[in-house]
Chains A and B, each alone.
Chain A
Amino acid sequence: MTFEGRSLADFTVELDVYSGPYEWLLALILKDELEIFEIPLRELVESYVGAREQNGANNLERDTDFAGSASALVLLKSRTLSPAIDGEGEDPEDEALSPEELAERLTEYLKIRRAAERLRERFASNAGHHPSAHTVPPRPGRLQVRADRVTLTARRTFSRLIEPPLRHLGPITVTLQDLATMIRTALAGGPVSYEILTRDMDRLNRAVTFAAALSLAQEGGLTLAQTEPLGPLTLEPKA
């Protein structure tokens, strides 16, 4: 099968370094995905000759296209292997290498070459492992800012700025000073139970009385005594 204008579209090659359509091989070389000096051009030509039909309908066109692309590969490879042709020159140090230095370099390269061969084996023996396809999302706050979480955190941090609703409390008819005076009066006769002190008060007044007692305790006017958590609370005058 051939495609109009692409006479080599059905030509595939089997090389050590590449297996697939010839046109893709050319593309990979041009994109530097494959090194030209890794491609055995002789094998490539033999592969083409072996696959060539004797009396193919468009042999002339195919042969011409292949000869043109193969010649370009030969030229590219020769230029790659002989960079001095371009006149750019190499490192001047290279020209002055003594035999000992050259031997040292070759020795180092030989080791790297052997290491590369070992690596090829390791890559081959470990190929075909596919890890989980699950992708961990970025950590919030580090790689990604989520507006809803920032808002929530800010609300928690600055929650004191938001006044709590007071509608359920009804009108406040007493002040902290009034209740502080009432507490001082009660304490004149000795320690007094908080329960007894607030026995006839509504919930709001009990709360404000407690706040007044705390204020007085902070000022040093009394001591709050509670023997156990949530147990009876006693207000004691400070000696």
Chain B
Amino acid sequence: MSERNPRPEHLIEAVLLVSASPISSPDLSSATGLSKDEMETALGTLAQRYAPETSGIVLRNVAGGYLLSTNPSCSRAVERFREEARPAPLSNAAHEVLACALYLGPLTRGAVSRVRGVNSDAVVRTLLERNLLAEVATDHEAPGSPALLGVTDEFLAATGASSTDDFPPLGSLVSPEELSRVHERLTSTTAPQDGGETP
């Protein structure tokens, strides 16, 4: 490699190394001066070089950009070196709130609580502190103009998603059979006691 004429993959590699957050293709192109074709070829080369099987560093395509991260198989050594504990795993309640924001968002805290059936303010606060949720807009039509919650790029990176389109549709997560069973049980438990059998 000539110092004055670095190869495209070296340029991308260098820029990615100094970024703590994903870099989009346009930003990478702008920084390196590479064309779209050169970028694709170089990123393909880097993806092979930084495959999880062959490297302690991996190239991730997350949150709409590219990011160099340590290989999860090396995480214990990294965490020992940095003397930091991995964040506590999220609770089921936190996952439900994130699912609400991902599939039904942007939505208000009240809407989250309505979907879950319990007050979710404390969980939302924790997720805001961890940058997995953000107040992305305001509902001006609702009384008090409450903030609307949405998922963040940190959420996408933490779930390994390039965008919100990477998640399966909400309707596909529950089978029709399961739904009909729920309806059946509900109908049987809410039927009037003196009204005889349910239809």
B55 lies within 8 A of chain A by Cβ:
no
User: Is B168 a contact partner of A102 (Cβ separation < 8 A)?
Assistant: no
Q: 8 Å CB contacts to A: which residues of B148-185? A: 157-161, 167-168, 170-171, 173-174, 178-179, 182-183
B residues 112-163 touching A (CB-CB < 8 Å): 114-119, 122-123, 125-126, 157-161
Q: Could you tell me the dominant secondary structure of chain B's interface residues?
A: helix
User: Which residues on the B side are within 8 Å of A103 (C-beta)?
Assistant: 182-183, 186-187
Query: Counting CB contacts under 8 A, is B69 at the interface?
Result: yes
Chain B window 77-109, contacts with chain A (Cβ cutoff 8 Å), 1 for yes, 0 for no:
011001000101111111110111011100000
Interfacial chain B residues near A136, Cβ < 8 Å: 18-20
Q: Which residue on chain A has the smallest CB distance to residue B58?
A: A129
Interface residues on A, range: 35 or more
For A126, list chain B residues within 8 Å (CB). Answer: 72, 157-160
Give the A-B pair count, Cβ closer than 8 A.
156
- Write the nearest CB–CB distance from A233 to chain B, whole angstroms: 41
Let me know if A118 and B86 touch, CB within 8 A.
no
Chain B CB within 10 Å, residue with most, of A18, A33, A111, A115 = A115
When the two chains form their complex, are residues B95 and A134 in contact, meaning their CB atoms are under 8 A apart?
A: no
Q: Majority SS of interface residues in chain A?
A: helix
Which residues of chain B come closer than 8 Å to A38, judged between CB atoms? 91-93
State in angstroms the CA–CA spacing of A128 and B173 once bound together: 26
In this assembly, does A108 line the interface, its C-beta being within 8 Å of a C-beta of chain B? yes
A98, chain B: closest CB distance, angstroms: 9
Report the minimal beta-carbon distance from A45 to chain B, rounded to whole angstroms. 20
- Residue contact A35 to B116, C-beta cutoff 8 Å: no
Distance, CA A122 to CA B190, complexed state (A): 37
B179 and A99 within 8 A (CB): no
The digit string for A122-152, where 1 denotes a CB below 8 A from any CB of B, is 1111111111111110000000000000000
In the complex, the answer to whether A18 meets B78 with C-beta atoms within 8 Å is: no
B-facing residues in A47-83 (Cβ within 8 Å):
80-81, 83
Residue on A nearest B75 in the bound complex, by CB: A128
- A28-B88, A107-B179, A130-B78 known; A116+B126 contact, CB < 8 A: no
B70 within 8 A of A: yes
Mark B residues whose CB is within 8 Å of A: 16-21, 58, 60, 67-70, 72-73, 75, 78-79, 82, 86, 88-96, 98-100, 102-104, 114-119, 122-123, 125-126, 157-161, 167-168, 170-171, 173-174, 178-179, 182-183, 186-187, 190
Which residues of A come within 8 Å of B, CB atoms?
A: 17-18, 28, 32-35, 37-38, 80-81, 83, 91, 99, 102-103, 105-120, 122-136
Q: Could you give 17 example pairs across A and B, Cβ below 8 Å?
A: A105-B117, A106-B186, A110-B179, A113-B96, A114-B174, A115-B103, A115-B167, A116-B92, A116-B96, A118-B167, A123-B95, A124-B89, A128-B70, A130-B78, A130-B82, A132-B20, A136-B18
